[in-house]
Each structure stands twice: as C-alpha cells, then as structure tokens.
C-alpha cells in the first residue's frame, strides 16, 4: 500500500502548446496518451462499481461533449485533438471530462474537498486539498499550457484527458473546485471541468470568470472559487443559477451550499458527510492563524491531524472506496505563483512543484524537493 500513498507516487509534468485549439489538444495527447486511455478505463470501472450502467455512462459522456461543442466550439476542437491523439473517440474522452455530471447518476456521491481563501485590499491567496478516489492516485498530472491567440497561458493540475482543472493563468486568475449536491443535478449540461478550462484559458479577471460561469448551461452543482490579486469569490453553481459570495479576511468552503438563495434542493453529498466538521476545523485553524503573509501560512491551515480524516486525509486500506487527499494546492495571484504537492499538506516539504505564470509569458516551473 505504501507505494500508492499519494505523496510517494511519481507525478507527470507536461508542457502543452499549439498554434490552434486542435494542435494544442494533439500536443497534450502526444505526451500522455497511454495515461489518458487508462483514465478512460478507470472511470468506466468506477461508474460500473457505483451502479451506473455502461449505456447510461456512454450516453451522458456523449451529451457532455455535445454541450461543450455548442457552448465553446474552440474547446471542443481542442478536446477532439486530445481524443484523436490518444486513439480514442470523443465520447470516450467525455467519460473523463464529464465525470462530475456522470456521477450524478450514482447513489454514492464523490469524495469531498476543502478550500480556503484570504482577501484583503490588493492581495489575495488561496489553498485547497483535492480529495478523490485512492485508486485514481496515478490518473492526474501537473501541466503548463501555452496561450492560444487572444487567450492566456496557465498552469496547474488536471486529470489525464482534461484540459483544465485547478490552476492559475497569466492574467492572475486562479480557480479551485468543490463538489456540491442538489436534487436536480443531472448529466447533460456543460461539464464543470470545461468551465474551469475556459476560465483558465480566457478570463482576464474575476468578473470575466463570473460571466463565463453564468453563461454556461451546467447541470451539476459545484463551487468554483475564483480569485485575482484584488478579489476572491465563491461561485455556488446549481442546475438553475449561480450565486456569489465574497468577503474580506478568511473565506472557507467545504461541500455544502452556504448562500441562502441556493437552499432549494440543496443536499449533503452523503448522509454521513463531514463537511460541517471540516468547516469547524478550518474556522478554528484560520482564527488562530491570523493574517497570512505567504503560501506557507496558507498551507498550514489545511494540516488537520491525519488521524482525524478531516481536511488532510490519507488512504484507508480498510476502506478503499473512501477518499484521500491526492493533491494540495496554494495560489498567490499577486506574485503570479501556484504551488502544488502530491498528497496531504503535511508532505509538501517532500516535494512541491512551483509554477510562475507571468503576464504575456509561458509558465516557468521549479521543483522543490528534499
């Protein structure tokens, strides 16, 4: 089991560029095609294990790709490049890109994540633990992505096959993701991961990111936390609307709706969700931390005791379907910096990958390792 501990798993880091969307998609596939194919298989197996039939998963994957085509044709072309370069169909790739939407068909909901931001005039910072299935511990990568004409370069991490997930772009716009649940969640809408990719590739400010999210006909609930150097906003998305929440100082998000306007249909992911326990922990940790001065301060508030299984979570050999922290992220838009580490935040000193994403330039990478 030790070799599958998230902080010990070998990670991929790729650089993606192209003159047009399809070329950029092909360039991505040329570096990680076997990983993309294995991730399609991994998600197909996950859906089956959760009681989602293969025909239902395939139909949902197809509608996800169709929704992207109608909403963002350039992104659809890029994803077609990823699929072609990987030797799979667009619908195969939809099993990955539309995985949040497909999982609305399951009775057992996805694992949970925790995000914190700090906002003061002229300065914001953020951090997140990304918790997901331990069996998918090898199905993600770090990436640097060159800008398309008229767009922005960006860096961050994504699951194999996705063109964007959590990251920071060269305009200083960063994004995080937490899953939510509403009774009306369903497959078929624009995938939330396509919304993240479009924000990273095109948004020049928090306001532009909000416009992108509000324009997307999504069908599954999530929180996108978006920040630039001046502002941090939580966008609570359900199938009917986007609600905004922003405040100075610390803002904390786990996996329940907080905006009163989103109460209709709001649910916990599972009856035994620990979302409120994690919120309580973060409230205490940020209160005692005071005002952060750097990303190390942001990292520390995520370090809940590993034995508690709250914000920082290790794989449990006795419960292989339980989530674990696969990646820890922190973002500093004012310094054009995103830092990421495999596994729980306690292991960040073992390896941190730091990307600098300067305006008008390709991202630069530095690996800090003990």
Q: Who's near 23: CB < 8 A, 6+ residues apart? A: 81
Q: Who's near 318: CB < 8 A, 6+ residues apart? A: none
- The predicted pLDDT at position 95 comes to 98
- The predicted pLDDT at position 85 comes to 98
Tens-digit pLDDT string for the chain (370 aa): 455 799 998 899 999 999 999 999 999 999 999 999 999 999 999 999 999 999 999 999 999 999 999 999 999 999 999 999 999 999 999 999 999 999 999 987 778 999 999 999 889 999 999 999 999 999 999 999 999 999 999 999 999 999 999 999 999 999 999 999 999 999 999 999 999 999 999 999 999 999 999 999 999 999 999 999 999 999 999 999 999 999 999 999 999 999 999 999 999 999 999 999 999 999 999 999 999 999 999 999 999 999 999 999 999 888 877 899 999 999 999 999 999 999 999 999 999 999 999 998 889 988 877 6
Q: Is 370 exposed, middle or buried (0-12, 13-18, 19+ CB in 10 A)?
A: exposed
Which tokens hold the place of 332?
């500093």
- Secondary structure class of 249 (helix, strand, coil): strand
- The predicted pLDDT at position 368 comes to 78
166: phi then psi, degrees, rounded to nearest 5: -90, 135
Q: Is 312 exposed, middle or buried (0-12, 13-18, 19+ CB in 10 A)?
A: buried
- The predicted pLDDT at position 3 comes to 57
- Cα angle at 163 between 160 and 167, to 5 degrees? 100
**Spatial CA neighbour of 335 closest among 158, 200, 174:** 174
- The predicted pLDDT at position 1 comes to 44
Q: Is 39 exposed, middle or buried (0-12, 13-18, 19+ CB in 10 A)?
A: buried
- The predicted pLDDT at position 59 comes to 98
**Spatial CA neighbour of 124 closest among 277, 338, 287, 275:** 338
- The predicted pLDDT at position 319 comes to 81
367: number of Cβ within 10 Å: 11
């Amino acid at each position: 089991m030790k070799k599958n501990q998230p902080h010990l798993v070998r990670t991929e880091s790729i650089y993606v560029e192209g003159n047009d969307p399809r070329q950029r998609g092909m360039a991505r596939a040329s570096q990680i095609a076997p990983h993309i194919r294995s991730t399609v298989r991994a998600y197909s197996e996950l859906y089956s294990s959760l009681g989602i039939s293969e025909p239902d998963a395939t139909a949902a994957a197809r509608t996800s790709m169709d929704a992207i085509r109608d909403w963002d044709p350039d992104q659809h072309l890029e994803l077609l490049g990823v699929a072609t370069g990987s030797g799979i169909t667009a619908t195969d790739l939809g099993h990955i890109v539309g995985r949040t939407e497909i999982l609305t068909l399951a009775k057992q909901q996805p694992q949970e994540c925790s995000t914190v931001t700090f906002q003061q005039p002229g300065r914001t910072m953020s951090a997140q633990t990304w918790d997901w299935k331990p069996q998918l511990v090898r199905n993600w990568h770090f990436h640097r992505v060159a800008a398309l004409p008229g767009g922005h370069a960006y860096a961050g991490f994504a699951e194999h096959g996705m063109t964007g997930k959590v990251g920071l772009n060269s305009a200083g716009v960063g994004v995080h993701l937490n899953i939510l649940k509403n009774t009306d969640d369903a497959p078929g809408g624009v995938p939330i991961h396509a919304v993240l990719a479009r924000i990273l590739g095109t948004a020049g400010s928090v306001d532009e990111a909000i416009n992108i999210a509000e324009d997307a006909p999504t069908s599954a609930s999530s929180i996108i936390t978006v920040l630039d150097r001046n502002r941090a906003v939580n966008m609570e998305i359900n199938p009917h609307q986007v609600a905004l929440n922003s405040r100075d100082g610390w803002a904390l998000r786990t996996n329940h709706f907080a905006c009163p306007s989103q109460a209709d249909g709001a649910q916990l992911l599972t009856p035994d969700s620990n979302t409120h326990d994690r919120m309580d922990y973060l409230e205490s940790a940020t209160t005692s931390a005071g005002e952060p001065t750097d990303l190390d301060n942001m990292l520390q508030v995520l370090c809940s005791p590993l034995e508690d299984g709250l914000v920082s979570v290790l794989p449990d050999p006795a419960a292989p379907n339980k989530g674990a922290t696969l990646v820890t992220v922190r973002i500093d838009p004012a310094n054009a910096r995103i830092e990421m580490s495999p596994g729980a935040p306690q292991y960040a000193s073992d390896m941190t990958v730091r990307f600098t994403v300067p305006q008008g330039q390709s991202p630069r990478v530095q690996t800090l390792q003990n």
